[in-house]
Each structure stands twice: as structure tokens, then as C-alpha cells.
Amino acid sequence: MRGLMLEGLDLRKPMSGHKLAILRIQAGVLKVMVNKLLERGFYWILPVILSKSTDPLWPDPDFSIEKRIEVEIYGEKVSAMQSMIVHKRVLVSLGPEKIFILSPNIRIERRDRAATGRHLYEFTQFEVEVAYAKMHDIFRIYEELITESIKYVKESLPHELEILGRELRIPQAPFKVYKRIELEEKYGSSWQDEISKIIKDPVWVTGIPRQFYDYEDPETGEWRNYDLILPEGYGEVISGAEREYEYEKLVMKLERDGLEKSSYKILLDLAREGLLKPSAGAGLGIERFIAYITGARHVAEVQPFPRIPGIVPDV
């Protein structure tokens, strides 16, 4: 495939035992994560795909979107979902205060991102949002989901790991927390790749200037947001934050970022009425997490229908 010699991407051949093992592991991991959150009283919400409001993905230090998918339906302009951040903020404000969603995202990444092994133009996020939560509450939730699902795979799917030749260690929670600014001073702009190669267990990195909806402390200028970085060069697997909820601040940040306020009308209406609850949350890239667990070389190896930037398959 245009220089990408990857496992199981030929859709005219029966699936290999390798790929079937990956699919069984993925099912096990999703079962564990879903069950954990249901036990903890979370509402399981189904995703939406087309909406007047989606994640601008801008400004973001990792920005690499080549095209946004916008279509007209019933005389109205809608976008394909880039992340359900707006919907999560609205929902936790209106009733269900703890939610999760397995949410398909479309992000038409630049084609040179095919070679990173970490980018797809369609993928699924395991999204969580909790009203009144703080950063550390979200850290604890995902640490449990990650350690418990890795434990499950090691205990219940050893045959699958053997087929894949994958040795996995159960990470030690709580994971270490680093400040982005300190990593940048030490490793430069490629800090994410550098630390991903060094660490043994996943680490949290906080304070990353990006989208308007992440909370920025007006006194210190500190961003109360975070990424989770996986070891072995697998890199970022979770992004999330405490959220902005005040009307004036949201308006100021939307204007600062040059974004259309009309695309975030519902957030602004709720905030103006004092109905937008503070919350925190995050999204885990399911394919990236499964690629890490299974030791895949490219994240598309875990997809039944690979979505590699720049390569549009027949199905």
C-alpha cells in the first residue's frame, strides 16, 4: 500500500489470525471500560455524526487538518463530527452529570500523516465528561480504565497476546504528571515523541495552550488540561481538560481564536443563562490504545476498514 506494508490491510484476503486476535482484544477492552463506567453510574450516550456545532480543532499545537467536511441538509450547514466536546458540555449541564460515548470522529488529516503510524482520517474516541469534576478526577477514571483493561487482556486473553508476540506490562497508577512547559524546555518542540520513547508507564502532561473550551486560569495563565502519553513511541492517546463555563470568557476566547460565535450558539446561550455547568472530561483514542496493547506498527492495523490519511480504500 504505497510503501505502507501493513498487517491485514488487504481486504480481498481472509483475515489473518493476527488481525482476529486484535479484534478479540479490542472487544475485551471495550467490555471492561464500558462495564467499569456503568458500575460507577455513568450514562452511556450514543453518538451523533452531523451537527451545526463541533470541535474546531483550532488552535491546537498538533493541528494537521487538510479539509473540513461540511454539507447542507434541509437548507442548513452541518459539519461531520471532529469531536463531541460541545455535545458533552451541553449534556452534562442538562441532566446526566456523568456520561460516556463511543464517538466516531472524522478528521481529514494531511496525507503526510500516514507515515506517523498514529493518524487516521476516521477513528473512535472513548469520550467521558463529568459535571463539577476536576483534572485529578478524570486522571483517576482513565487510570482505572487503562490498568483494568490491560489486566483483563493479560489474564483472559493470553493466547491472543501470544499470537501477537506482545509482552505487556500492567502500568502502575497513579501515573506521573508533568508540565508541558518543563518538557518543552528539556526536549524542545518534539517533547511528546521524546518522552514517549523514554517512559515505562503512561504519563500525564498538563498545561497545553489549545482550544477555547479548555479552562485557562485568568490569574496564572495556566491551562487546566492534559494529554496522556503512552510508552514505546505510541504517543498521545488521551486529550482532555477542565472546561470553561463563563459566558464572557467563552466569548473572549472565541474572538481571540477567530472562531464563528454562531457555531457555538448553544454553549453561549447556556452560559449566558448560567446553565452551563463546570465539568471536566477527556477522550481516549480507541484505535491508538488497542494499537499499544497489541503492539501494532500502524494504528490502521487495528481497524477492520483501515482509514489511513491519503488512502481511500474500496470499502
Does position 79 interact with ligand ASP (CB under 6 A)? The reply is no
Give the residue nearest to ligand ASP (CB): 283
By CB atoms closer than 10 A (0-12, 13-18, 19+), residue 14 is exposed
The CA distance from 260 to 67, in Å, is: 17
- Please spell the DSSP secondary structure of 152-186, one letter per residue: HHHHH-HHHHHHHT-------SSPPEEEHHHHHHH
Window 239 to 258, contacts with ligand ASP (CB under 6 A): 239-241
Q: Which stretch binds Mg ion (CB under 5 A): 15-23, 31-39, 111-119, 236-244?
A: 236-244
Q: C-alpha cell of 68?
A: 473540513
Does position 202 interact with ligand ASP (CB under 6 A)? The reply is no
Whether the Cβ atoms of residue 206 and residue 223 lie closer than 8 Å to each other: yes
What are the residues whose beta carbons fall under 8 Å from the beta carbon of 274, sequence distance 6 or more?
none
Does position 55 interact with ligand ASP (CB under 6 A)? The reply is yes
Q: Which stretch binds ligand ASP (CB under 6 A): 14-22, 67-75, 113-121, 278-286?
A: 278-286
196 binds, among ligand ASP, Mg ion, none (CB under 5 to 8 A by kind): none
Q: Where are the beta strands (DSSP E) in 70-133?
A: 70-73, 76-80, 98-106, 108-109, 122-131
Does position 281 interact with ligand ASP (CB under 6 A)? The reply is yes
Q: How many residues bind ligand ASP (CB under 6 A)?
A: 11
Provide the b/e sequence for 190-209 (b: ≥16 CB within 10 Å).
Answer: ebbeebbeebebbbbbbbbe
Q: Which stretch binds Mg ion (CB under 5 A): 26-34, 153-161, 162-170, 239-247?
A: 239-247
**57: three-class secondary structure by DSSP:** coil
Candidate list 83, 196, 279, 294; residue touching ligand ASP; CB under 6 A: 83
Nearer to ligand ASP, 226 or 292 (CB): 226
85 binds, among Mg ion, ligand ASP, none (CB under 5 to 8 A by kind): ligand ASP
Does position 82 interact with Mg ion (CB under 5 A)? The reply is no
Give the binding site for Mg ion (CB under 5 A).
Answer: 239
Give the binding site for ligand ASP (CB under 6 A).
Answer: 55, 83, 85, 125, 127, 239-241, 281-283
